[in-house]
């Protein structure tokens, strides 16, 4: 799918076509130059007032109530100070859509910038920047032009105060507030403006969101500044969308750094911080991918050195070991060397089961865990630097106090006094909050139980199909003329366990995709029911619920294969059954080489399938439609239409748009950390996916989506804590995988405690127990029983042989191995946790130079603000002396002394 994406992507770029939804002519066509000057613009008809927001609606015949709402809403918008201009439906391409253009004049912007505590520049920064990095010339091929990376100079900033406008650097009131700040202020007004008539008091009739939900308006969005493939004609327009597409959204720029400052300026800090995190995560994946590739390469190249695999494939060793039937019905005995190909695959993929690589494997897995710690700690430092550079250091408290959700204000009718602000504010009573939380928790438990029920169904499928695959055994003439039973499934390469795992993994992936559709709806419904107070609280609660659903949905099958499959099998004559013996669903055994290959299969199918499906949804289908529309457009070029119409037909970027992007990456992070011991190539697959993901997301933002309302965020929010939790859990899961899922510990115990030649020779015979075949069972075929009657077969376990006083009970070697496994888990976890916490303690979250710059800036801000207040007071005193000198001379000595101290 990556090759298809790249082919269509390059075809799309070479043809220079527009957006799939933008039914405009292609760039480079002559029709582009014929565009009317007043159409592709972001200004009112007067060419002076900027369009800060656009509302669209369709005037329906039976929409009298909607017309009344619109008239009342627009009247209230004008009372709030906004200026409106309507485009008649006759001027639109479809001849039925009206467009309401909104402009916020200076007074409105200044008032709400004061309310929202918007930080604006008041002086150019005189703090010297860091010195040049040594060998900077090496990074030049990966850098973008300077005017793209730093679109604005460095300023000292302070919260805007309408009463102190002369304190700030206001050169032009029309351009003082950037478009992202302007549309954020206008959206704030739209979200709180009522649409009931004067004299009425209906709190439910408030906000643009309700008007969109009831169909009064069809869309509400700020405008892009120009077409993405061509600069704006108006010199006053920034053309930042064009720069983003040219230097960021094209796949040919995959090796270039991202213009984060320009992204932040155009889309806002919240989207900017997402792309900063995604880029940093992808860079750090490179090191994990290199380590994983080394592991895989080492396993493939060193296969011939493995004594265990040679014994399995040797006709005199593995060919002489008769294994017990794999199922109760229609299954016969088979020889161990029939799994030679499967053993080769396992050894190639997992060099950690080699006896001479145990220490090396532990070091690699330990380095992966340390890599995760370094990634999280270095990201905190990178995030702290962005917080300072983007003026977000003190933003969190403001966001918590000011950005109350309109839904909370509407649905919470009770009021109480805020002890801090001394104002009446809405609140949710305790009994109502507890009831909502109880219902929410019960719903979450129900849907998690549904996931587990689906997993149980897949396990039942595995048990039923496994017996069918295991019965596919044929008789072949060996070189000596004797009959040898060999598993015949896909040429002997895939064992019954592996075939069952592949089909079950595919079915499980389909179930995951189906359940994901319902989880999204349920998580949003539960969160809405809880009525969170602020937008930040709403997002954090939704993130917690959705990740919990996704965690159980994606990882539960992997946890089953890693930690439960093959652990409760029993032994011949006393097998364990899942639903009781009457159901004949014998618990699954692991592959003769262990369950590690099946865990890899499960992980590969689910992880690769998720990334494949995500790429198809995000890029392949839109690119194919875009490519087809461009070919069609060459023969049937369509008429051009206005900037607001071009943006209107684009996809809407919802408030939860970034939520799904973060969720996709965090789930991927879980795959490459929780189960890295089973599939070292997982980071490499994730790296290739993320390189494409960055450019696909950038392409979507610049070409497929309307311009989102700019919003602020100082960090990645609740995702940071989720990443920390996954990193800690990964230490535990990898320790258990190495101890219980792989054969590393049994091999080490045999090598150092039971081997007579200090090598792995004889390990296969040591790891198999014997079972004497009794009288013919009802489920065994006649031919199979006659050839093996009163003989022994082998099975994977450590039990005493028949005839022993404790026959079929566990041997001392089993308890030694179990003790070694537990000791390994305890030691590994403690060592890794100590190293992780020591690294976290050694690396400060905020770089020392950033701390110094923050303190220096705060000091200078206070100094400049103090000087401003002093100068203002001097001017006031001078004006008072001129207008009323006698009154000033009559001031008391104490008054003079106080003024002197102030000056």
Q: Round the average pLDDT of the chain to a whole number and report it.
A: 78
521-538 burial, b if ≥16 CB within 10 A, otherwise e? ebbeebbeebbbbbbbbb
pLDDT at position 440 = 87
Residue with token string 């965020």: 713
CB atoms within 10 A of CB 632: 11
pLDDT beyond 50 at 479: no
Q: What is the pLDDT of residue 79?
A: 92
| Residue 710 DSSP code | P
Pairwise CA distance, residues 236 & 22, whole Å: 24
- Cα separation, 176 vs 10, in Å, equals 39
Distance (Å, whole) CA 53 – CA 190: 10
What is the spatial distance between Cα 417 and Cα 431, in angstroms, rounded to a whole number? 19
What is the predicted pLDDT for the residue at 377? 92
Place of tokens 């311009």: 707
Length of the chain counted residue by residue: 903
Task: State pLDDT tens for residues 108-138.
Answer: 999 999 888 888 888 887 777 655 556 566 7
Domain ranges within the chain, ordered by starting residue: 41-131+160-223, 272-298+320-330+350-419+439-474+495-627+644-750+821-842, 848-878
For position 634, what pLDDT does the model report?
Answer: 39
Which long-range contacts link 875-879 to residues 24+ away (Cβ below 8 Å)?
Answer: none
Residue range 506-544, pLDDT digits in tens = 888 888 888 888 888 888 888 888 888 877 788 888 888
User: Is 117 strand, coil or helix?
Assistant: coil
Q: Tell me which residue has tokens 């801000």.
A: 861
pLDDT tens string 340-384: 766 666 555 554 444 444 444 545 565 677 888 889 999 999 999
Cα separation values, 711 from 272, 697, 707, 778, Å: 10, 18, 12, 71
Q: What is the CA radius of gyration of the chain?
A: 34
Q: With CA atoms as reference, report the closest residue to 207 among 406, 427, 67, 412.
A: 406
**Measured on CA atoms in the order 677, 678, 679, 682, is the torsion positive or negative?**
negative
Which pLDDT band holds residue 601 (cuts at 50, 70, 90)? confident
391: phi then psi, degrees, rounded to nearest 5: 60, 50
Residue of 903, 163, 165, 887 lying closest to 879 (CA atoms)? 887
3-state DSSP of 308-356: HHHHHHCCCCHHHCEECCCCCCCCCCEEHHHHHHHHHHHHHHCHHHCHH
Q: What is the pLDDT of residue 890?
A: 46
Mean pLDDT lowest among 95-99, 343-347, 757-761? 343-347
Q: Provide the greatest CA pair distance for the chain.
A: 130
State percent of the chain over pLDDT 70. Answer: 76
Are 759 and 293 a contacting pair, CB within 8 Å?
no
pLDDT at 901 over 80: no
The token pair that represents 854 in the structure block: 């923050």
**Cβ atoms within 10 Å of 188's Cβ, excluding its own:** 17
Residue 237 near residue 226, CB atoms below 8 Å: yes
The answer, yes or no, to whether residue 482 has pLDDT greater than 70, is: no
Structure tokens at 393: 């250091």
| Dist CA 647 CA 225 (whole Å) | 10
**What's the pLDDT at 200?**
61
Listed residue (174, 158, 180) closest to 262, CA to CA = 180
Helix (H, G, I), strand (E, B) or coil at 1: coil
Q: What is the pLDDT of residues 128-175, one digit of tens each?
A: 765 555 656 677 778 888 878 776 777 888 888 888 888 888 888 888
Tokens of 181: 């700040």
* Residues facing residue 796 across a β-bridge: 768
Contact 763, 845 (CB under 8 A): no
Asked whether the predicted pLDDT for residue 754 surpasses 60, the reply is: yes
Q: Give me the helix-helix angle, 596-615 and 496-530, nearest 10°.
A: 50
Which residue matches tokens 């919470």? 412
In sequence order, what are the residues at sequence separation of 6 or more whose Cβ sits closer than 8 angstroms to the Cβ of residue 624? 8
Which of helix, strand or coil describes residue 126?
A: coil
203-253, pLDDT tens digit by residue? 567 788 888 888 889 999 999 988 888 887 777 778 889 999 999 998 888
Q: Is 486 helix (H, G, I), strand (E, B) or coil?
A: strand
> Residue 86 belongs to what H/E stretch?
strand 83-87
Query: Could you tell me which residues come within 8 angstroms of residue 138 by beta carbon, excluding any fewer than 6 positions away?
Result: none
Per-residue pLDDT tens over the stretch 396-443? 655 554 567 777 777 777 777 777 666 677 777 888 888 888 988 898
Q: Which of 487, 557, 558 is nearest to 342 (CA)?
A: 487
The contacts of residue 683 (CB under 8 Å, 6+ apart) are 285, 288, 289, 291, 292, 672, 676
Contact criterion met (CB below 8 Å) for 624 and 8 = yes
3-state secondary structure 571-582: ECCEECECCCHH
| Average pLDDT score over residue span 386-405 | 71
């Amino acid at each position: 799918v990556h090759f298809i994406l790249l082919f269509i992507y390059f075809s799309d770029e070479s043809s220079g076509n527009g957006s799939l939804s933008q039914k405009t002519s292609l760039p480079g066509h002559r029709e582009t130059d014929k565009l009317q000057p007043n159409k592709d613009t972001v200004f009112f008809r007067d060419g002076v007032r900027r369009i800060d927001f656009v509302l669209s609606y369709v005037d329906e015949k039976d929409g009298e109530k909607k017309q009344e709402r619109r008239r009342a809403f627009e009247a209230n918008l004008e009372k709030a100070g906004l200026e409106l201009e309507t485009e008649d439906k006759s001027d639109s391409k479809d001849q039925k859509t009206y467009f309401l253009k909104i402009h916020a004049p200076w007074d409105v912007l200044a008032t709400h910038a004061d309310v929202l505590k918007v930080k604006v520049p008041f002086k150019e920064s005189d703090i010297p920047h860091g010195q040049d990095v040594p060998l900077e010339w090496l990074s030049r091929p990966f850098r973008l032009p300077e005017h793209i990376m730093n679109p604005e100079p460095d300023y000292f900033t302070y919260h805007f105060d309408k009463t102190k406008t002369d304190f700030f650097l206001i050169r032009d009131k029309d351009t003082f507030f950037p478009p992202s700040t302007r549309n954020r202020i206008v959206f704030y007004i739209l979200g709180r403006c009522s649409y009931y008539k004067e004299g009425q008091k209906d709190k439910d009739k408030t906000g643009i969101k309700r008007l969109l939900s009831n169909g009064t308006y069809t869309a509400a969005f700020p405008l892009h500044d120009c077409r993405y493939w061509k600069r704006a004609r108006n010199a006053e327009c920034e053309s930042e969308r064009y720069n983003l597409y040219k230097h960021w959204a094209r796949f040919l720029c995959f090796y270039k750094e991202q213009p984060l400052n320009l992204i932040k300026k155009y889309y806002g800090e919240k989207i900017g911080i997402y792309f900063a995190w995604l880029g940093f995560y992808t860079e750090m994946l490179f090191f994990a991918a290199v380590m994983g590739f080394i592991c895989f390469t080492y396993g493939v190249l060193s296969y011939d050195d493995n004594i265990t695999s040679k014994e399995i494939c040797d006709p005199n060793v593995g060919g002489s070991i008769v294994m017990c039937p794999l199922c109760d019905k229609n299954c016969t005995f088979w020889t161990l060397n029939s799994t030679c190909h499967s053993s080769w695959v396992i050894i190639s993929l997992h060099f950690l089961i080699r006896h001479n690589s145990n220490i090396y494997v532990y070091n690699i897995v330990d380095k992966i865990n340390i890599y995760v710690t370094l990634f999280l700690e270095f990201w905190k430092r990178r995030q702290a630097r962005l917080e300072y550079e983007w003026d977000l250091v003190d933003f969190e408290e403001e966001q918590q106090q000011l950005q109350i959700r309109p839904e909370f204000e509407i649905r919470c009718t009770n009021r109480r006094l805020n002890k801090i602000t001394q104002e009446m504010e809405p609140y949710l009573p305790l009994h109502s909050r507890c009831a909502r939380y109880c219902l929410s928790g019960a719903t979450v438990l129900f849907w998690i139980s549904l996931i587990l029920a689906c997993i149980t169904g897949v396990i039942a499928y595995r048990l039923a199909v496994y017996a069918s695959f295991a019965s596919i055994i044929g008789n072949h003439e060996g070189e000596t003329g004797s009959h040898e039973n060999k598993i015949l499934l896909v040429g002997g390469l895939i064992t019954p366990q592996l075939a069952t795992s592949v089909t079950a993994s595919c079915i499980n992936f389909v179930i995951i995709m189906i359940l994901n559709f319902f989880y999204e709806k349920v998580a949003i419904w539960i969160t809405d029911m809880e009525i969170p107070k602020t937008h930040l609280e709403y997002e954090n609660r939704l993130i917690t619920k959705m990740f919990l659903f996704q965690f159980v949905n994606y990882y539960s099958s992997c946890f089953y294969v890693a930690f439960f499959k093959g652990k409760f099998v029993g032994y011949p004559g006393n097998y364990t059954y899942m639903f009781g013996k009457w159901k004949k669903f014998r618990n699954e055994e692991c592959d003769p080489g262990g369950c590690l290959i099946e865990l890899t299969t499960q992980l590969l199918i689910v992880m690769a399938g998720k990334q494949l499906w995500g790429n198809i949804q995000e890029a392949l289908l839109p690119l194919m439609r875009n490519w087809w529309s461009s070919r069609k457009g060459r023969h049937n070029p369509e008429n051009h239409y206005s900037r607001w119409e071009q943006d209107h037909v684009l996809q809407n970027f919802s408030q939860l748009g970034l939520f799904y992007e973060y969720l996709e990456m965090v789930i991927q992070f879980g795959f490459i950390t929780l189960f890295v011991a089973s599939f070292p190539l997982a980071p490499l697959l994730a790296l290739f996916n993320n390189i494409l993901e960055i450019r696909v997301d950038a392409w979507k933002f610049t070409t497929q989506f309307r311009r989102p309302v700019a919003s602020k965020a100082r960090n990645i929010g609740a995702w940071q804590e989720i990443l920390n939790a996954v990193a800690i859990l990964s230490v535990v899961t990898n320790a258990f995988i190495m101890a219980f899922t792989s054969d590393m510990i049994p091999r080490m115990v045999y090598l150092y405690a039971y081997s007579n030649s200090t090598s792995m020779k004889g390990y296969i015979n040591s790891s198999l127990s014997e079972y004497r075949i009794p009288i013919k069972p009802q489920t065994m075929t006649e031919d199979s029983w006659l050839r093996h009657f009163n003989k022994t077969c082998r099975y994977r376990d450590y039990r005493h042989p028949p005839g022993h006083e404790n026959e079929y009970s566990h041997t001392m070697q089993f308890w030694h191995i179990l003790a070694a496994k537990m000791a390994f888990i305890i030691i590994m976890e403690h060592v890794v946790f100590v190293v992780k916490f020591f690294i976290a303690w050694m690396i400060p979250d905020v770089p020392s130079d950033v701390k110094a710059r923050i303190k220096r800036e705060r000091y200078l801000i206070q100094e400049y603000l103090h000087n401003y207040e002093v100068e203002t007071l001097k001017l006031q005193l001078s004006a008072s002396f001129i207008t009323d000198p006698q009154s000033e001379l009559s001031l008391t000595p104490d008054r003079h002394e106080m003024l002197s101290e102030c000056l």
